[in-house]
Every structure is written in C-alpha cells, then in structure tokens.
Structure 1
Amino acid sequence: MSRKNRKSITVAKERSLLTHQNPKSPIAEQYKTIRTNIQFAAIEEDMRSIMISSSGPMEGKSTTIANLGVVMAQQGKKVLIVDADLRKPTVHYTFRTMNTRGITNVLTRQAELKEVTYETEVPNLEVLTSGPIPPNPSELLGSKAMDKLIEEALTIYDLILFDCPPILAVADSQIIANKVQGTVLVVSSETTEKEAAVKAKERLESASSKLLGVVLNRKKMKEGSYYYYYAQK
C-alpha cells in the first residue's frame, strides 16, 4: 500500500472517529448532546439496545453510530457496536479490524459471540463485524439465533448499537427495529428528501419500533452562532 493511501485511510479514520481523536471539539460535543437526549428519551427504562439507520444510503449513519459508541463508552459503559448491514458492511473499515468472521458466523452457529468480537482503541468499546456476506440477510437477522445473540450480548455489555441498512432499501432494518428497544434515524441536511424521511418513520412505526429521535447530519454551523462561541471558550 502506498504512503498516500495509508495517509488517506488515517485521515478518514480521524474524521469518522472525531469524538475519540478530538473529544473537546464542537462536533464531539454535539454527539454528547445526542447521548444525553437518548438518555432523557429513555428515562422510564434502561435503553440497552438501539438501532441506528437512515432512509437512504450515504446519509452518515455509520459515522453517527461509531461516534455515538465512543461517547457512550467514554461514560464508562461497556458498549458493543454490531454491523448488522449484511449487504454493505463498513464497521470493520471504520475501526480497522478484520472481517473474516463476524455476526454471520454466530448466527449460523460457526462461532461463539466472544470469539468474534474485537476490542478497539477506545476503552470499553468493542465491535462485532458482519463477517462473510450471506445470501439471505433478512432471514438471518429475523432468526431465533439473532434473538439468542442479542440476549447473550446483553449479559456482557451495557449497551448494544446496531448499524443497519437504509430503511427504504431493504427489509433488514425493520426486522432489527422490532427486536431492539429503540431506534435513531439519521437524516442528511439538504440531501435527505422529506418524503423519504416520512416513509422511513412510517416503516419504523409499522415495525412497532420506538423512535428515540432524529439526528440531523452534515448541517453547516455558522461561526457567529451561540454554540460556536460557547465551544471556543
């Protein structure tokens, strides 16, 4: 691999894990605000399994879940990020881990959960990558083996975050939404169409999912704003 390519990977990682690389940055503070809002939204119950998704691709759901996982782990919680996008997985790229084995191996009884989770450089944060891409993602995610995996993970971790495919693209996210306690929907400023966001919300409702909130991603911040002023103090 060339020096230029290695540098590109490092820069991309620093951008995607800004909450770890620069925990006092304005962006990191925004993720901490999201963390707080989720905790307030779940004040009547201990929210321990959350799905992160979007209406369509390229809206920032994977970057959001990675940074949310970091700020949750920074609170001292033992966190597991699960790559449940069995069609176009990205978690192993973000955290630079192997992806030869992962959740698909657990669901097909080829491995135990503790054998295929990876520690990250962030204390208290581990990841479960997708593993080999299967021919039947929806069936695997909807299986009893998936229920068993979630049940086992909850005995080990304080919080499980599921990185799922875009809601309007495939049925996978609706399947997971029905198995977790809550969902966070990511929308991209000036990119996500209002109609698409509404349809995604409707599909979550049809899956009896509890929508904890919506993250507005890629919103430009003006230097004269109150938050910018506060963050620079």
Structure 2
Amino acid sequence: MNKKRRGNKESAEGRKIVMATKEQTSVSEQFRTIRTNIMYSSVDKPIRSVLFTSATPGAGKSTIAANMAIAYAQAGKRTLLLDADLRRPTTHYTFEVMNRIGLSTAIVSDVELVDLVKHTDYDMLDLITSGPIPPNPSELLSSKRLEQFMNTLNIHYEMIIIDSPPLLSVTDAQILSKRADGVVLVTNVENNNRNQLLEAKDLLNRADANIIGLLLNQRDVRSGGKDGYYYYESASEKSWQHNLKHKTP
C-alpha cells in the first residue's frame, strides 16, 4: 500500500473537503447528521455500503461522497471510498493520487487488494480510484467479478462509500445499486428538477435499490452565509413530496 502523505488543507479546501478543513462549521455538522441518519435507516440489517448518485451531472454527488467517507472515518469506522464512476472519475483529483490502477483493473485482472488500495491523509480512510477508463463500463460493472470484489471489500471495511455516475446519463448507477446496502440520491438547489428526480427514483426502484435518502445540496439557510447547507431526508413518500417542491425555472 502507498505510504501516507502529509495533509494538505489548502488542497482539501479547494476541492470542498469541508470535513477536513472546517470541522466545526454547520456544514460539517450536517454531514455528521447524515451519517447518523444513515446509521439508523435500517433496523434489521446494518448499512455498510452506500451508493451516492444523482439524476444529472453537476449535483455535487462526488463532493458529498468524499465528505461522507471522511465523516465515517472520523467516527472511527474503517472506511473505503470507492470511485465507481468509470466514465468521469474525480476522486484521484480530489485526493491527489495516481489513477494507473483501480476498480477497472480489479475487475479485469487478478490484482491484490493491497496493490489497489491507497491510503489517504485521513486516519481510517482508504481509497480505491476508478482505474483506467474502459471502453465498456456497464459490462464491467455487470460482471460476476465485481460482485466477488465487493464481497472482498466487505470483509475488510466497516463502511464503503461508492461514487457512481448520474442515473439519467447511463445505466451504471442502476447496476451498482445492487451492490450497495443503500442509495442516497443527491440534487442541488440550482439544478433541482422534480421530473428528473422522479425519473431517477423510478430507475432505482426498477433495480430494486434500497433508497435511504434524498440529499439537497447547497441549501443556504443563513442569510449571507458562505457555507452550503446539506439537507437530508429519508426516502419516505412524504419526504419526496417535501423535497421535490423546487423546480428548475
């Protein structure tokens, strides 16, 4: 495994890793609240893997996933952030690591987990990047080898945070939702669109995904506030009706 590098708070702040640079702000507290809500979203079966996706690009799901991974690590959970966006991966930029090998490599080749995992600057948090972008992402994600790989990861980690492509663009997120204990759908104030979110929800339902929450990104509840407010609701019909009231002009 790669050796730990020294923390780079300026870099983290530039990429909106608020859990590392602004631990005492209201935004960081919202991430901790979301972590708690996810923990109690299932009584019969513990949630040990969560897929973060969105209806369309630009909602901030990758930033949310990165911050949530740090939030779990800060809670003492051995956490893995898995970049399963094999089309437009970003986590290697966020954490400033190489992306020569990663998830795509694990699916097509026999690579030891120790060679795939990258340690981050945050205690208890590891990262597996996307790896080289393949010509057939959906086929790779549908393979039996991914299922076997996820089973291996579940042995080594207490929580796995998965970053996936948007739902309305490609089928990848639907496929990946079968490998996660829960799915959180991310939207934001600027691009929030009722019809698109309902379509995304329908796609997840068709895949028998366990939708555990809807997260509204960048909802500012303080006049003149600089920090975005991350608002989370469980995936009940009432919460969907409440959160889908914002429409794109």
Question: Which residue pairs with 1:180 in the alignment?
Answer: 180
1:156-201 Cα shifts (integer Å, max 9, x gaps): 1001111000001000000001121110000111312110011000
Tell me if structure 1 keeps the 8 A contact 2:9–2:20: no
Give the deviation of 1:218 after TM superposition: 1.0
C-alpha distance in 1 between matches for 2:224 and 2:111? 53
Amino acid at match of 1:192: N
Q: How does 1:1-233 map to 2 (within 5 A)?
A: 11=10, 13-15=12-14, 16-223=16-223
List, as ranges, runs of 4+ consecutive aligned residues in structure 1 with deviation greater than 2 Å: 9-13
TM superposition shift of 1:86: 0.2
Moved more, 216-225 or 49-58: 216-225
Distance 1:138 1:102 in 2: 16
Question: Does structure 2 retain, via aligned residues, the 8 Å contact 1:113–1:149?
Answer: no
Amino acid paired to 1:97: V
Per-residue CA distance 1:68-108 (angstroms, 9 max, x = gap): 00111111000001110000000101111110111111101
Which SS does the other structure have where 1:53 is aligned?
strand
State the distance in 1 between where 2:223 and 2:10 align.
24
Q: Give the RMSD, CA atoms, in angstroms.
A: 1.7
Task: Kindly provide the amino acid, as one letter, of the partner of residue 12 in structure 2.
Answer: K
CA–CA separation in structure 1 for the residues paired with 2:50 and 2:220 = 27
Given that 1:78 and 1:158 are in contact with CA atoms closer than 8 Å, whether structure 2 keeps it comes out as yes
* Unaligned stretches of 5+ residues in structure 1: 1-8, 226-233
Q: What letter corresponds to residue 133 of structure 1 in structure 2? A: I
CA–CA distance in structure 1, aligned partners of residues 192 and 22 of structure 2: 28
Mapped contact 1:51–1:183 kept (Cα < 8 A): yes
Q: Equivalents in 2 of 1:192, 1:140: separation in Å?
A: 31
Question: As a proportion of its length, which structure holds more helix?
Answer: 1
Identical-pair percentage: 37
> For 1:103-142, what per-residue CA distance to the aligned partner results, in whole angstroms no more than 9, with x for missing partners?
1111011422221110111100011001100001001111
Report the residue type matching 1:138 in the other structure: S
Instruction: Give the secondary structure class of the aligned counterpart of 1:50.
Output: strand
- Deviation, 1:223, is 4.4
2:154 and 2:30 map into 1 onto residues whose CA distance is 27
Partner in structure 2 of residue 6 of structure 1: none
In structure 2, runs of 5+ residues without a counterpart are 1-7, 226-249
TM-score (norm 1): 0.89
Deviation of 1:222 (Å): 1.5
Work out the CA distance in 1 between the residues paired with 2:88 and 2:206: 24
